[in-house]
Amino acid sequence: MTITFRPDETYRDDYTFANSPECIARAPWPFPDDEYMYTMNLEPHVPVGDGALKAVFDIDEHYISECRDRAITLEKDPGMHYVSAPHMMEAQWDLLELIMTSYASDYPQYFTLERNGTRWRWTNNLLNIDDTFTFGDPATLPYEPMEYVTRQAQGDWVLQEERDGTLYWGAGIATQRADYSLRFNLGMAWHEFHGPVPLLKESGMLDRALKFLLRLRNGHPVRRLNWSLTVNPRLDVSAESLPDWAPDRTTVTAENAGEKVYLRIELQPLHRLPRSNAIVFPIRTYMLSLQDIATNPAWAKRMHRVLKTLDQQLVDYKGFTRYRDQAVEWLSQFDPHYNEETENAV
């Protein structure tokens, strides 16, 4: 597959990020129904179609600019955006191998991996990288294995280790966080991290999801979709950078919501790693403005209904209480018969 890249776009300051019509159409749409509630929504991670679900780990036209934005964020606050417990080194090498072999297989025109025993050569034509290193020896890389390979990958990445019948956050790189702290979450167990999500524990879904993931086998990955909203196409909306982006939430009006409000879609393909038995939890983020969504009338109509009917606890948790009404009002133009249909349904 050939991709036309947008290497110079920005995700901060002047915000020159934009989606092509092709990039909009290939995004994974997270809403199967007009109303939304958390579900496990896990399915086998197998190739589907020609869009975001075709490859093991998807890359798109924003690959080069996202990698550059990651480098900027890491340089600014390195200790806040990449962390790893010392005992996670084997899992780091597992992840490096998985990403490199997947990229080289799915995008051979951009990535090449040559292996001669433990002596490996990795070529990334998009970022002008040509490195030879010894697999298993971190001294032969400029960064730790996880940081090295995920600096060349879209999305955030978390390594979870299985211990005492649950999963713990053992390592992660996160420069596209949706209002959480990577360093704070390091070492947290499954129920600790997911505990703040409203209505989740009461449904029993948290326990069911953990049991499912503990049975996850190597070579049988699964995927799920999650979502949130943000203002402006900013990748780093972490807890640490709150003063930089929180004021933007007060700038949304019913008139500018189409260009200001973005749907952040998270594609999460989970893999069990072969040597370490860890689980890698990627969070691949796609951003669509409401104007992007409006190019698909069916999406715009559904988005209106999802946001209008969303439980207020979830609105608060996802962080868009300040501008939910403005977004709903802007989207209402694409759903003119909503009130009539709901009245008839009653």
| Catalytic positions, written as ranges | 224
- Strand-by-strand arrangement of the 129-134 sheet: 111-116, 119-124, 129-134
Q: How far apart are CA 173 and CA 189, in angstroms?
A: 17
Using only the alpha carbons of the chain, give its radius of gyration.
20
The Cα 176–Cα 154 span in angstroms is: 9
- From the list 307, 304, 305, the residue with the least C-alpha distance to 320 is 307
Residue type, 88: M
CA distance 264 to 274: 31
Q: In angstroms, how far is CA 179 from the centroid of its own chain?
A: 13
With CA atoms as reference, report the closest residue to 319 among 139, 204, 177.
177
288, containing H or E segment: strand 279-289
Look at residues 256, 257, 240 and name the one whose alpha carbon lies nearest to residue 303: 257
H helices, E strands: number in the chain: 16, 10
> Maximum CA pair distance of the chain?
68
CB 80 within 8 A of CB 293: no
Please answer whether residues 151 and 157 qualify as being in contact, where contact means their C-beta atoms are separated by less than 8 angstroms.
no
Q: What is the DSSP letter of 72?
A: H
Contact 172, 193 (CB under 8 A): no
What are the C-alpha distances in Å from 215 to residues 70, 210, 328?
Answer: 33, 9, 40
